[in-house]
Chains A and B, each alone.
Chain A
Amino acid sequence: AQTVTQSQPEMSVQEAETVTLSCTYDTSESDYYLFWYKQPPSRQMILVIRQEAYKQQNATENRFSVNFQKAAKSFSLKISDSQLGDAAMYFCAFLATQGGSEKLVFGKGTKLTVNP
């Protein structure tokens, strides 16, 4: 079974600064996706970024980028030029692409506070 660990229950950053959220995972699968989802106070689950395990290039979406280290099973999220609207709970999630299981496995989340 897959597990996802987010070791930082809470993080804070100053507006316009950069912050990195950590995520590690454990799996025996060779093909999978990794995601970061954002859950603001509205509690909507919003996709931030996606990484396919077979791609060596790290995914980037505007101010959001990941550092994917497959051998180390590490998948961190970097937020550049932090904005007040980035304040939210961030969940790291794993999805096996084959093998029948289609469920997302989430970490416990990291609560990000952005200070003005």
Chain B
Amino acid sequence: AAGVIQSPRHLIKEKRETATLKCYPIPRHDTVYWYQQGPGQDPQFLISFYEKMQSDKGSIPDRFSAQQFSDYHSELNMSSLELGDSALYFCASSPHIGSGTDTQYFGPGTRLTVL
């Protein structure tokens, strides 16, 4: 079965640089979520999109922005990178069931290292 695709899998950037992470959801999944997992931490919710509209927002820094496109893929843009942004970034997708949400399936993650 098709899974969530994330690219790149690994990314190394310098402080103050910009990074773009991409996510391609499972076919027919219309909702995309972004999570950040620091070393030894549990995943923390950043932001989600349903039908190309932002549907929920967590502890996402103002330096980060995201969007969902017409083909349902999503991009997370990160500017003015800081050392503390080094983490594993997960994208997850789910189908929307009626007016509610459903099981989220995770991609393999993008490991971002900021030097």
Contacts and interface: CB of A to CB of B under 8 A. Distances in A.
B45 A104 contact: yes
What's the dominant secondary structure at chain B's contact region? Answer: strand
Contacts of B33: 102-104
Given A33-B103, A43-B88, A47-B105, A102 B42 contact: no
B86 interface: no
B56 interface: yes
B56 A104 contact: no
Interface in A70-116: 91, 95-98, 100-109
A37 B104 CA distance: 10
Interface string A27-67: 00001010101000011111100100000000000000000
Contacts of B109: 43-45
Interface residues of A, number: 26
Contacts of A104: 33, 35, 43, 45, 92, 104
A106 B58 CA distance: 13
24 contacts: A31-B100, A33-B102, A35-B103, A44-B108, A45-B43, A46-B106, A47-B103, A47-B105, A47-B106, A50-B103, A91-B42, A95-B103, A97-B100, A97-B101, A97-B102, A100-B55, A101-B56, A103-B45, A103-B56, A105-B45, A106-B43, A107-B42, A108-B42, A109-B42
Interface of B: 31, 33, 35, 37, 42-43, 45, 48, 50, 55-56, 58, 88, 90, 92, 99-106, 108-109, 111
